């Protein structure tokens, strides 16, 4: 299994953002918990299978 690394930054206007290194995956969330769920959703959409 490959590892995908995300850069997570706090955004003054929208909470938090995450961008995957080397992939066209970007998402955001108002809280860290929401961001984690959105990252999983983005990975599922990009990779085509469920991420636990």
Q: What is the pLDDT of residues 6-29, one digit of tens each?
A: 999 999 888 999 999 999 999 999
pLDDT at 25: 95
Sheet with strand 26-29: strands edge to edge: 6-11, 15-20, 26-29
Instruction: Give the span between the Cα atoms of 11 and 40, in whole angstroms.
Output: 20
26-52 confidence digits (pLDDT tens):
999 999 999 999 999 999 998 887 777
* Residues 10 and 16 sit within 8 Å (Cβ to Cβ): yes
Q: Which candidate, 17, 23, 26, places its Cα nearest to that of 3?
A: 23
Please give the model's pTM, rounded to 2 decimal places.
0.85
* CA angle 33–34–36, rounded 5-degree value: 65
């Amino acid at each position: 299994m490959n590892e995908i690394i995300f850069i997570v930054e706090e955004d003054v206007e929208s909470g938090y953002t995450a961008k995957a290194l080397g992939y066209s995956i970007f998402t955001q969330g108002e809280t860290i918990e929401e961001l984690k769920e959105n990252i999983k959703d983005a990975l599922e959409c990009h990779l085509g299978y469920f991420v636990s």
